[in-house]
Structure 1
Amino acid sequence: MGNAESPGRGRKWVGRPLPRFEDLRLVSGAGQYSDDISQPGQAYAVFLRSPHAHAKIGSVDAARARAMPGVLAVLTHEDYVAAGLASLPTMPVPAGALDVDDPVFKPTPETPILVTPQWPLAGDRVRFPGEPVAMVVAETIAQAHDAAEAVEVAYEALPAVTSAAGALAEGAPVLWPQAPGNVAFDNTFGDQKAVEAALAQAHLVIEQTYENPRISSAFMEPRGGIASYHQASGRYTLMSGCQGAHRVRMGVCGALKEKPENIRVICPDTGGGFGSRNDPYPEQVCILWAAKLIGRPVKWTNDRTESQLTDYQGRDIQSRTRLGFDRDGRITALAVDVLGNVGAQTISFVQLHNTWRVAPSCYRVPMAALRLRGVVTNTVPTGPFRGAGRPEAMLAMERSLDIAARKLGLDRLDIRRRNLLTRNDLPYLSATGLTYDSGDFAGNMRKVLEAADWKGFEKRRKSAAKAGLLAGIGIANYVECPVGAPHERVDLRVLPDDVVELVIGTQSTGQGHETSFAQVVADMMGVTPEQVRMIAGDTDKVVSGGGTHSDRSMRLGSALMAEASAKVLAQARKVAANLLDAPEDTISFDDGLFSTPGSNRRLSIFDVARNVQDNAGLPQALREQLAASAGMRGRIAAYPTGAAVCEVEIDPETGVVTLTRYTAFDDVGQPVNPLILHGQVHGGIAQGVGQVLTENYAYDDDGQVLTASFQDYGMPRADMLPSYDVYLVEDPTKGNPLRIKGGGEGGTTPAPAVMMNAICDALSARGIEHFDMPATPLRVWRALHQS
């Protein structure tokens, strides 16, 4: 990456807690989400979805539906195949964390990698409840719903399985003939023999299985979109909220067998992504196909139940962990057997990769061996969800440390101090191949303990006991390894009307990019953030880009902004030298102004831009717009880290768990906008609290969903959350010009571990050593009374 100069330091914007520019538009109702968009003459699409978890489709009779008022089309898998279209291409195996040309998971002689077809409309069978079977397009949404109910489908129900362990059991129904035993992949990492030998010689081995229940993505905005086809140009346009317009275009191009230049994808305002909007969905393909067929725009919006049934989901990972210790409580070896429920179709294995990579966390683990298996079941596909494997890994490590401390007679803090990496250990090559270049792990823990008043907790515990409550306190350290799509691009243009135009391939789904990106460019170019205009989420305007996920937007974007800015300033310096009639090497750029010694004249970047276009006396080579691009393919390694402490109180009469205090220190690198970062941490903690206390996507024995609405699915509520104490710290990394590590997932990553440690600490008063999520009142009450 090129090194940007340091312009405008007298009015530095990076580090300021600026209120978000986009908020006024969004909170005043002026935002434009997918369902806000309408086009003249649009029709409406509704999907008929499978009521079965697993069934053969004998026939689909749409004759009665096609004859109903207002119906323009009823389309099925048979129609789709007859049109010569293909299944949605899926790429479940992620690129390597170190070498992007090296796929993480590889086929073995015993287990090939399963890459399932994902037909936009189900063909010979359905494999999860809610899978789309037919699409009705009508003049009104009500007519489309009525006609969908008139489509008759002959199903032959088949046995269903919804858990990974159940899918591996003898006699389980086989979902895909190319995956006998329902195993999508089975890979091992590390020296298995050496780890087993070390565990055999260990003074103590903590063996525990940690359950991470399946959770719903639960976006604020249900999925939707509007599609159109332009007959004259032969081009499609899709406007649909997502996390990466180019990634969606790549998928729909594959399904529709179209060249990329024939499909434009526009991402408007998007109400939440969390990883589950990375990949394209069947409905996006279907409405594009329908728009061409009927010659009119086609609009679709999920209702909340449809989204609960069909949005890609998160977690559903089981980790059988064995952690060895010597007599002094120091870790000797780690073995983890990870079982992931990937759902009915193989959309993504990213979460399993991340679970492996950060399994040792920020501790001195001499050796580690892991087995990772992905298993297909009759459930909606899973994929990356905020943290994507890192919260699962932190839970296993931090709970194991607490259990080990009890068995060894050590203080919970002591066992962590003995194993935490120190600054003197850095750079440190972890047992899973990551090189940590920065991170004050011990310092983070020390600071969070002081801020949380850990020493004063016993007094609070006694006070709670007098009220009949069980109080508990927990601590968790963490480290992340953000990866994500291994390519990005930035285009930067200085316009003569006092605007710097930033075109970038990342996209906001609520992270405040319009503000924080403008702060970075403002510092680079010596302008104000208000003078920066960001363009994203439109494949006609953005040449390429990887979208937003895995802490990648600012981490990659800032490095490319720095490189592009350096190129633009180099161009501008040549023009300024001509305008100031001075040698180029005498031109300085300070506080946003070009100048030369001995002259009182100063030029801003906009002065230069206006002269580039208007000064016919300039050499031809300089009479061009000030503009530059920067792109990358590969990785920019970063390791956000931190520590959290929380306290809970449990009412043994009802089983209700109340979160009373939560303190966090997060090192996400240099804070570009602390206000936005605090908001990210707050939101991440809330998602972690929901996962621990209330959320659990549940099925019955026949594979029917029991939590298809917010009446049944336990979304966290505001009254469950105390006022957090969150702090930002930085141990600088040299990974990129702005020292960015990534702040989107730090709040979530330690939250399940720290909360479960606190809950188990409270339950230990009744002899309960371990408890699995979710800690709902009924489950906690049962555990207390069974103990």
Structure 2
Amino acid sequence: MDDLGGDAVHAAFLRSAHAHARIRAIDAEAARRMDGVLAVYTLADLPATAREPLPILYPNAAITQPQTPPPLAGEACYVGQPLVMVVAETRAIAEDAIDTIEVGYDLLPVAIDLAETAAGRQGPAHDGAADSIAAHYSDECGDVEEAMRTADHVLELVVVAERASGQPLEGRGVVARWDADTGRLAVTDSTQLPLQVRVLLARALGLDLDHIDVHSPDLGGGFGTKSFRLYPEEVLVPFAAMRLARPVKWIEDRAEHLLAAAHQRSQIHQVRLGVGRDGRIRALDVEFLHDMGAYCQFGLLIPLVTASGLAGPYAIGNVRVRFRAVYTNTVQVSPYRGSSAPFSTFVMERAIDHVARALGLDRALVRRRNFVPRDAFPHDTGLRAAFGDGTVTYDSGDYSGGLEAVLTAIGWRDFPEAKARAAGQGRLLGIGLAAYVEATGIGPYESARVRIDPNGSVQVAVGSPSSGQGHETVLAAVAGRVLGVDPERVVVTGGDSRQIPYGYGTYGSRTAVVCGNAVLLAARAVAGQALALAAATLRVPADELVLDEGLVRHTGDPHRAIPLAVLAQIAVAAPPPPGADPGLSALRTYVPRTTPYASGAHACVVEVDPATFDMRILRYVAQHDCGPVLNPMIVEGQVVGGVAHGIAETFYERRVYDPSGRPVTRNFHDYLMPYATEIPRVELLHAETPAPGNELGVKGAGEAGIIPVSAAIISALEDAVGVVINRTPMTPQELFHASARC
């Protein structure tokens, strides 16, 4: 965060102690009288524009009860919701002042359990509401009922995933400075969406957009937790800076993060399958509940990602999906790495294994028979897309090829012998696999500015910040290749509205696709400017010149050349062409017209201790197809990091609330995460099926690693222990009890 010197003051928040309560009264007089306290703000102290509930990011007509949070609550709807902000000379004084504030609560019914709340036996989650149902949604392609009627087998299963949450090394934080002389607000924010935060701050604080600068420096991890678009603290800290004319700083501590930062999905799926004797799926019918938490600031984005992706890489002509989005008195959810693609994959892959088990078929064979063939692209699943208009249409891929590569690498054919030998030694081994498809490179757009400086360096600016994905390396390579410059001479800046005022951010495996193509367009424009200027300077036709090693060279006479640095100096000094800016510079915007779909397959071998039911991953193979690999090291890091995330949510991470709505998992003693020593070596297999819809041919890779992990590991656990497992996370204790029931 920005160094604000000795003038900065600090914010802290009093948060609700109850999951659902009407705030009857707040007595903060003692806090206001404390030495060092500069201000105490409640909802009543905010201007009308800032008191408005935060807007829904993805509105949807299916939402019948829209609920989004105000920055400070008059009705507390989860434990940890901000009620009061204190600003003081130090954080310690602010926290001491909070301890003196007395809140009068009128307790209200709580809605905690997803199934019980959906059935109307808990809640409602909001005072005055008839129930806790935020939305009903349905989608269907083909004729599901007829396909079920004519199927050889109709199979059913229930699949459950519980809550977890992102735990980036760096928590959230906001620093705001108000310049009363110029009327400008400068905000440094640990967010994945700085340019969207800027837009919403203008609305909430009544400022012109051009008077707000938002900068998101390199983030110490995000994973979707920081793609929330606008947390209450992101409004309140700038508001306080404007009121006090002092820089205000708030840095989230780990306890606050575990208490109030957004969670990831929790869903319960009822699945029905119509299947032929050969294992081909004729119909898929899924009805599920989705836990929104207390609000729907993201609209229906997360359950829509689940619904639209349920077919996975399989050609199923008849699909019906219905869901109810349910409010509960818990922290609201946001997209977490992969959004809910990991869970739609988990549901479909559990269903595939269920078919194989019921029909006595090999799990790999059932997948082969149901895959979309390589010669069938583009393939329209018939389901409505979660992003934009139209239906989910896979652009390219080789699903069977990816599966075969994984099966060969893991030794699928020979595994039964290894399993039998282990059983003879009293060891339980299992093998599992899973396949997936992911929508990447989503819109709506991103912009990039490319400039050659008079010192010969290349400056690239994009709106998307980096949260550890290596944007600087990848985008520098794209620009350097076009301009004939060593990538070491390319400086990439992201997430700063002073350089790129409009754009979105880093989420949804989109930066390489959307920012990468924006950089490609801008770099080409600058290359054209450089060639035109060099042609005029060297008095040769532009089509006889090339960009190479920081120079513009003549193809017939390499000694006739001019450095880009010199051209940049000339361009700054000379009058620009009509309609152009001075210098060698271009701003371009890339709008994706199609969605590139990444894909892959994972397989693993696990061992389960027959005495303790502790689990160990012996081998893990991950195959992925993200189109042309721009940087193998970065792609490997993204996939391996995603696998680690997937292992965490399969074995360890679970957010637990007691019946009154108080969170039980409030520290790392209770909320478990794996150590690096518990993550196996990942054997990585690359495939490159170019995306036809963008010039780079790339597909996203940032979330690919996590999507099939739970499905592959649970498949292996089933094989090892011989019990049906259709939920995550799965602890040794739960595995023991499941085995004891069989």
Alignment TM-score, normalising by the size of structure 2: 0.95
- Which amino acid counterpart does residue 198 of structure 1 have in structure 2? A
Q: Is the 8 A contact 2:194 2:505 kept in 1?
A: yes
* CA distance in 2 between partners of 1:284 and 1:515 (Å): 29
5 Å-filtered alignment, 1:136-175, equals 136-175=86-125
Question: Structure 2 residue aligned with 1:276, among 225, 231, 234?
Answer: 225
Q: Residue 214 of structure 1 corresponds to which residue in structure 2? A: 163
Q: Does 1:345 align with 2:295?
A: yes
Of 319, 323, 329, 1:372 maps to: 323
Farther-moved stretch of structure 1 (338-347 vs 630-639): 630-639
Aligned residues: 732
Question: Who is 2:387 aligned against?
Answer: none
Conservation of the 8 A alpha-carbon contact between 2:198 and 2:213? yes
The match for 1:304 is 254
Specify which of 420, 425, 445 is matched with residue 371 of structure 2: 420
Go from structure 1 to structure 2 and tell me whether the alpha carbon gap of 1:129 and 1:179 turns closer, same or farther (over 3 Å shift): same
SS at match of 1:430: strand
Mapped to 1, the partners of 2:425 and 2:55 lie a distance apart of 55
Most deviating of 567-576 and 175-184: 175-184
- Alpha-carbon separation, structure 1, partners of 2:25 and 2:465: 42
1:117 aligns with 2:83: no
Provide the C-alpha distance between the structure 1 equivalents of 2:709 and 2:620, rounded to a whole number of angstroms.
Answer: 9
* Residue in structure 2 matched with residue 613 of structure 1 by the alignment: 572
The answer to whether the 8 Å contact 2:450/2:458 transfers is yes
Letter paired with 1:687: H
Select which of 64, 75, 83 maps to 2:41: 75
Q: Is the 8 A contact 1:640 1:668 kept in 2?
A: yes
Q: 1:262 to 1:594 in 2, by over 3 A?
A: closer
Are 1:758 and 2:692 matched, yes or no? Answer: no
Counterpart for residue 769 of structure 1: 724
Paired position in structure 1 for 2:740: 785
Partner SS, residue 543 of structure 1 = coil
**Percent identical residues:** 36
Does residue 285 (structure 1) correspond to residue 235 (structure 2)? The answer is yes
Q: Deviation at 1:266?
A: 1.4
Q: Which secondary structure state, in structure 2, belongs to the residue aligned with residue 418 of structure 1?
A: helix
Distance of 1:199 and 1:223 partners within structure 2: 49
Task: Give the corresponding residue for 1:23.
Answer: none
Structure 1, residues 76-113: CA drift from partner, whole Å, max 9, x if none? 112125x663335322426xxxxxxxxxx423xxxx43
How far the C-alpha of 1:181 sits from its partner, in A, is 2.1
In the alignment, what sits opposite 1:729? 687
In 1: Cα distance, 2:461 partner to 2:511 partner: 13
**Residues in 1 aligned to 2:579 and 2:348: alpha-carbon distance in whole angstroms:** 60
**Aligned with residue 388 of structure 1, among 339, 342, 349:** 339
**CA distance in 1: counterparts of 2:444 and 2:715, whole angstroms:** 35
Q: Which runs of 5+ in 1 are unaligned?
A: 1-33, 95-104
- Per-residue CA shift, 1:678-729, capped at 9, x if unaligned? 1101110011001010111011111110101111001122222111111221
8 A Cα contact 1:249 1:263, kept in partner: yes
Does structure 1 conserve the Cα–Cα contact (< 8 Å) formed by 2:441 and 2:512? no
Deviation (angstroms), 1:157: 1.9
Q: Which residue of the partner structure matches residue 53 of structure 1? A: 19
Q: Could you tell me how far 1:154 is from its partner in structure 2? A: 0.8
Q: Are 2:183 and 1:234 aligned?
A: yes
Q: Secondary structure at the match of 1:170?
A: coil
SS at match of 2:50: coil
Residues 1:672 and 2:639 are matched in the alignment: no
Amino acid at match of 1:129: V
Match of 1:225 among 158, 174, 177: 174
Secondary structure in 1 matching 2:5: coil
C-alpha offsets along residues 724-767 of structure 1, whole Å, 9 cap, x if unaligned?
11122111222211111011011001111111111111121xxx
Instruction: Choose from 262, 265, 269 the match for 2:211.
Output: 262
- 2-structure distance, mates of 1:130, 1:562: 44
Could you tell me how far apart the structure 2 residues matched to 1:159 and 1:173 are? Answer: 5
SS at match of 1:480: strand
Q: Could you say which residue in structure 1 is the equivalent of 2:9?
A: 43
Note if 1:85 corresponds to 2:50: yes
Kept in 2: contact 1:663–1:725 (CA 8 A): yes
How far, CA to CA, are the matches of 1:536 and 1:622 in structure 2?
Answer: 24
AA paired with 2:102? E
Q: Deviations over 1:510-556 (max 9, x none)?
A: 11111111111111110011111112222122121110100111111
Instruction: Give the counterpart letter for 1:611 in structure 2.
Output: I
1:245 maps to 194
* 1:614 Cα offset (Å): 4.7
CA distance in 2, matches of 1:238, 1:620: 36
User: What is the aligned counterpart of 1:190 among 140, 143, 147?
Assistant: 140
> How far 1:463 sits from its partner (Å)?
4.2
The answer to whether 1:570 aligns with 2:520 is no
Report what 1:15 is aligned to.
Answer: none
Residue 333 (structure 1) shift: 1.1
Matched, 1:320 2:270: yes
| Structure 1 Cα separation of the partners of residues 469 and 114 of structure 2 | 34
Match of 2:603 among 635, 645, 661: 645
- Cα distance 1:621–1:154, how it changes in 2: closer, same or farther (>3 A)? closer
Correspondences of 1:608-757 after superposition (within 5 Å): 608-614=567-573, 624-757=582-715
CA deviation map 1:652-703 (0-9, x unaligned) = 3222121221101110111111101111011100110010101110111111
Relative distance call for 1:268 and 1:585 in structure 2 (3 A) is closer
Residue in structure 1 matching 2:78, options 122, 128, 131: 128
Shift of the 635–714 alpha-carbon distance from structure 1 to 2, 3 Å rule, reads farther
Give the RMSD, CA atoms, in angstroms.
Answer: 2.0
**Partner in structure 2 of residue 200 of structure 1:** 149
Which residue identity is paired with 2:740? H
Q: Compute the displacement of 1:71 (Å).
A: 1.2
- How far did 1:188 drift? 0.8
Which letter does structure 2 place at the counterpart of 1:384?
P
Distance 2:97 2:271 in 1: 52
Kindly report which structure 2 residues correspond to 1:376-525, keeping only aligned pairs within 5 A, or say none: 376-432=327-383, 433-482=391-440, 484-525=442-483
Given the superposition, is the C-alpha separation of residues 484 and 65 from structure 1 closer, same or farther in structure 2, using an over 3 Å criterion?
farther
Q: Is the 8 A contact 2:484 2:550 kept in 1?
A: yes
Q: What is the rounded CA distance, in whole Å, between the counterparts of 1:553 and 1:622 in structure 2?
A: 28
Q: How many Å separate the matches in 1 of 2:66 and 2:274?
A: 36
Cα offset, 1:623, TM superposition:
9.3
Q: Secondary structure at the match of 2:439?
A: coil
Q: Contact 1:693–1:774 at 8 Å: present in 2 too?
A: yes
Tell me the alpha carbon deviations over residues 191-229 of structure 1, each in whole angstroms, 9 at most, x when there is no partner.
48x212211221122211211111111111111121121
For the Cα contact (< 8 Å) 1:188–1:369, is it kept in 2? yes
1:413 partner SS: helix
| One-letter identity of the residue aligned with 1:42 | A
Is residue 131 of structure 2 the alignment partner of residue 181 of structure 1?
Answer: yes
Question: 1:189: Cα distance to partner?
Answer: 0.8
For 2:52 and 2:113, how far apart are their aligned partners in 1? 26
Task: Using the TM superposition, name which of 427-436 and 471-480 deviates more.
Answer: 427-436
- Gap change, CA 1:150 and 1:524, over 3 Å in 2: same
Deviations 1:370-423 (A, max 9, x none): 112211110101011111121111111111111111111111111111111221
- Post-superposition CA distance 1:160-208 (Å, at most 9, x none): 112332222234322336853211111111148x212211221122211
Aligned match of 1:355: 306
Measured in 2, the distance between the counterparts of 1:171 and 1:406 equals: 36
Secondary structure at the aligned position of 1:698 is classed as coil
